[in-house]
Structure 1
Amino acid sequence: MDTPDSAKTGGPASQALNGLRVLDLTRVRSGPTCVRQLADWGADVIKIEAPDDKAQLGGPRSGADFQNLHRNKRSLTLNLKSEEGVEAFRRLADTADVIVENFRPAVKKRLGIDYETLAASNPRLVYASISGFGQDGPLAGRPGFDQIAQGMGGLMSITGKPGEGPMRVGIPIADLCAGLFAAQAVLIALFERQQSGQGQWVQTSLLQAQVFMLDFQAARFLVDGDVPKQAGNNHPTSIPTGVFKTSDGYMNLAVAGQEIWKRLAQAVERTEWLEDARFATPPARSDNRDALNAEIEKITVTRTTEEWIEAMNEAGVPAGEINDIGQVFDNPQVHHLGLVQPTTSQERGETRLVGQPILMSRTPSRIASPPPLAGQHSEQILREIGYSDASIATLKAQGIT
């Protein structure tokens, strides 16, 4: 179906997913992260909320977090604990291409809005579920939280300095990755639907996302039996890669492989290191990491960060600034890439949000509308699925919408 003209105050966010209807039953972060990907690429996303706005989890609507996660959507308030609310949702679900939810596994069954129930009348439905630990299995009933998944998924054991205990990373990476994987799963299922004509239930969890994101660290264990440890700012296998002090701050160097190692030695005018038994080969540099880092830092402290970054990049050695968040968004390249997007919040007025990190030549994404007010589009959406004005007034009077 075509996205209604009034769905977004500024038109569709993109033409890429225009025509898809997505029902958003998600809360907090992992689910909204998934749905934001679909909304930002032009899907008609309908956020289903309880009539009492206080039931919204994840902070106030005016907060930065809510503003970031819920742009480019419409809002419908429905009391899903009532028969009338569930009936309205089922009618809406019959018109949907996608539903995304991150309830604990038993909740959707109890409400009667699970995949099997809804797919019986809408077999083309793609139903995406995000949970803490999976929809079944010995830990399925546990509540999921990002930091819990970071710990259980091994990330905290390899983050931080050796000997200082486990350390969480500075972003909710399990939540974010679970949301992104769920969005990918939705798109995969939609592509497959073009061939089969059938939807399906797609699932991921914070634990699955976190374990998958271990990537080469997981491979080190599964393939070689090596249990990775904390390495602080040092890269665990590419040496010397890490943080080095300069005369006015710090910088990152990334020296991967023998060719870049040679370039580094030449850039700091220490070509004798290429013949030094302590540093000549990757295994030797690994065994003598601390000594090598100390030798490099004796040199890097003699010039400014800007001078070294220019010299290193000219020599073909990857080097970069270590920015705080304010410096990130002052970076001209960040602006050039469109990562800072303006919008007019209904709660805050003129503001800025992070745009999509993907560039498309024909169907770009933009922030077409700010997060909706709770129930802002309820009447419009209910009319779209056949409710009369009198029926809508009755639902309002009963507190259903």
Structure 2
Amino acid sequence: MRALEGIRVVELATYVAAPSGGRVLADWGAEVIKVESPKMDIWRNYGKTFNGPANDDENPIFDVPNANKKNICLDLKVPESMEALHRLLATADVFITNNRPKPLKRMGLDYQSLKAKHPRLICGYVTGYGEEGPEADSPGFDTVAYWAKSGFMADMRINNPGSYPIYAPGGVGDNSCGTMLAGGICAALYARDRTGKGDKVSVSLFGLATWVMSLMNTSVQPPYNYQYPKTRFEGRPITLPYECGDGEWIMINIMEWERYRDAFCEAMEIPEVASDPRFQTSAGVGKLENRGPLIQILEEKFRSKSSDYWDERLTKADIVHSRLAHFRDAVVSEQAKANHYVEHITCPSGQDYWLARPCVALEEGGLPPYELAHALGQDSREILSQLGYTPEEINALAEKGAIKVK
């Protein structure tokens, strides 16, 4: 039995942040029902942005945040569809949405309105910037609200002449936000077992970015006054990537320099560094005047041999390191496969993919299924029938355009 079996989640959400939270809950056993308008979640077509497929037979970009869910299509501008939604919510434990506060209030789907009608309902809200403050109603995607607003793009660039802000990786803030939402919902469900009351769970892209960037946004404050952005030679030498002779890069991360200094220097064939007074301690390595010289030594040494050579030596020395993998490498790595971080999927079109799955493993529940995202309205008839609608009533709603059935 999976942990959330018996929990029904209604998800009225588009794009990635909130739907990824629904995906996590679905993997943990919840029945997640995605509610889409006839205009569809725009993410259904986003695969075309990457010059790839985006249709019912092959849509992996959409599948990842929407696998393991049922789908009902309701036009909530039609009163009968809104009535159907509330009948569905009356059977639900959780409601998830990323609609902005003002539209939700107009539709009567804000927390206070839902609390009055469905007092045991857990309501999960995803916003760009939080529910208070001057930007509460502003739109926000993760590239802006998470990456740009947090300071990451400006301050984590390599600050050399002519450099640009770092590219914002799409979907990372979204998936992080959805995962945090899922955790908050589980906490609220646990509390409801004791109180009998529903609750409101809210998370924002900007809020989560502030939390995950806390090391940086704390260290820049007095008395630390740590400086960002940095040039290449202002970086900490023992936590940097280095280019090897074959053009590949290796990232090292030595947190206990005094403990690993001699082993590292032996592996790198630089005994002179181990005996250099400037580099005896972690504090010495971290001094600004010592960073550039040590980086230059390591750059020259790494470039003298291939990444295979250095990888083998650093591994034997038990130094934390990794080649800089490419996105195409990560999803087919044996480590990812062995831990079921990715799943081999064959789409109805016949095309194969390795698709990521939520990485939290619950031993007793076993490996969750990986059922590809359902088509728009694929489960409308089944869900409405469960709510007491007759076949004639369902057909009438479809003819009116209030719903779409597959």
Q: TM-score, normalised by structure 2?
A: 0.88
Query: Residue 361 of structure 1: CA displacement?
Result: 2.0
Residue number in structure 1 paired with 2:179: 180
Q: State the alpha-carbon separation in 1 of the partners of residues 381 and 234 from structure 2.
A: 55
**Contact conserved, 1:346 with 1:371, CA < 8 A, in 2?**
no
Query: Residue 58 of structure 1: CA displacement?
Result: 5.7
**Contact conserved, 1:267 with 1:312, CA < 8 A, in 2?**
yes
Secondary structure of the residue aligned to 2:217 is helix
Secondary structure of the residue aligned to 1:278 is helix
Residue number in structure 2 paired with 1:297: 299
Listed one character per residue, the Cα deviations across residues 166-185 of structure 1 (whole Å, up to 9, x for unaligned) are 32333433322222211111
Residue number in structure 1 paired with 2:205: 206
Change (3 A) 1:264 1:171: farther
Query: Residue 356 of structure 1: CA displacement?
Result: 2.6
Change (3 A) 1:330 1:88: closer
Q: Structure 2: 5+ residue runs without aligned partners?
A: 47-53
Residue number in structure 1 paired with 2:225: 226
Amino acid at match of 1:76: I
Moved more, 274-283 or 196-205: 274-283
Change (3 A) 1:394 1:65: same
Q: Sequence identity of aligned pairs in percent? A: 26
Amino acid at match of 1:103: N
Query: Residue 63 of structure 1: CA displacement?
Result: 3.5
Task: Give the CA RMSD over aligned residues.
Answer: 2.3
Query: Residue 225 of structure 1: CA displacement?
Result: 4.6
Query: Residue 344 of structure 1: CA displacement?
Result: 4.2
Q: Does 1:392 align with 2:394?
A: yes
Alignment length, in residue pairs?
A: 387
Change (3 A) 1:29 1:246: same
Q: Does 1:247 align with 2:245?
A: yes
Residue number in structure 2 paired with 1:356: 358
Q: Does 1:158 align with 2:160?
A: no
Query: Residue 350 of structure 1: CA displacement?
Result: 4.7
Query: Residue 312 of structure 1: CA displacement?
Result: 0.9
Moved more, 253-262 or 195-204: 253-262
Listed one character per residue, the Cα deviations across residues 130-176 of structure 1 (whole Å, up to 9, x for unaligned) are 01111232111211122222112111122221142432333433322
Listed one character per residue, the Cα deviations across residues 93-119 of structure 1 (whole Å, up to 9, x for unaligned) are 011111110011111111112222222
Residue number in structure 2 paired with 1:268: 268
Query: Residue 122 of structure 1: CA displacement?
Result: 2.0
**Contact conserved, 1:341 with 1:366, CA < 8 A, in 2?**
no
Amino acid at match of 1:159: M
Q: State the alpha-carbon separation in 2 of the partners of residues 342 and 117 from structure 1.
A: 43
Q: State the alpha-carbon separation in 2 of the partners of residues 400 and 188 from structure 1.
A: 35
Secondary structure of the residue aligned to 1:120 is helix
Q: TM-score, normalised by structure 1?
A: 0.89
Amino acid at match of 1:138: P
Secondary structure of the residue aligned to 2:117 is coil
Q: State the alpha-carbon separation in 2 of the partners of residues 268 and 313 from structure 1.
A: 11
Change (3 A) 1:225 1:267: closer
Q: State the alpha-carbon separation in 1 of the partners of residues 291 and 334 from structure 2.
A: 35
Name the structure where helix makes up a greater proportion of residues: 2
Matches within 5 A, 1:88-99: 88-99=84-95
Q: State the alpha-carbon separation in 2 of the partners of residues 131 and 146 from structure 1.
A: 10
Moved more, 318-327 or 216-225: 216-225
Q: State the alpha-carbon separation in 1 of the partners of residues 94 and 45 from structure 2.
A: 23
Change (3 A) 1:235 1:115: farther
Residue number in structure 2 paired with 1:32: 19
Q: Does 1:118 align with 2:114?
A: yes
Secondary structure of the residue aligned to 2:201 is strand
Query: Residue 272 of structure 1: CA displacement?
Result: 3.4
Residue number in structure 2 paired with 1:281: 281
Residue number in structure 2 paired with 1:11: none
Change (3 A) 1:206 1:53: closer
Q: State the alpha-carbon separation in 1 of the partners of residues 361 and 232 from structure 2.
A: 31
Q: Does 1:50 align with 2:52?
A: no
Residue number in structure 1 paired with 2:130: 134
Amino acid at match of 1:275: S
Q: State the alpha-carbon separation in 1 of the partners of residues 397 and 42 from structure 2.
A: 19
Secondary structure of the residue aligned to 2:373 is coil
Query: Residue 327 of structure 1: CA displacement?
Result: 2.0
**Contact conserved, 2:35 with 2:74, CA < 8 A, in 1?**
yes
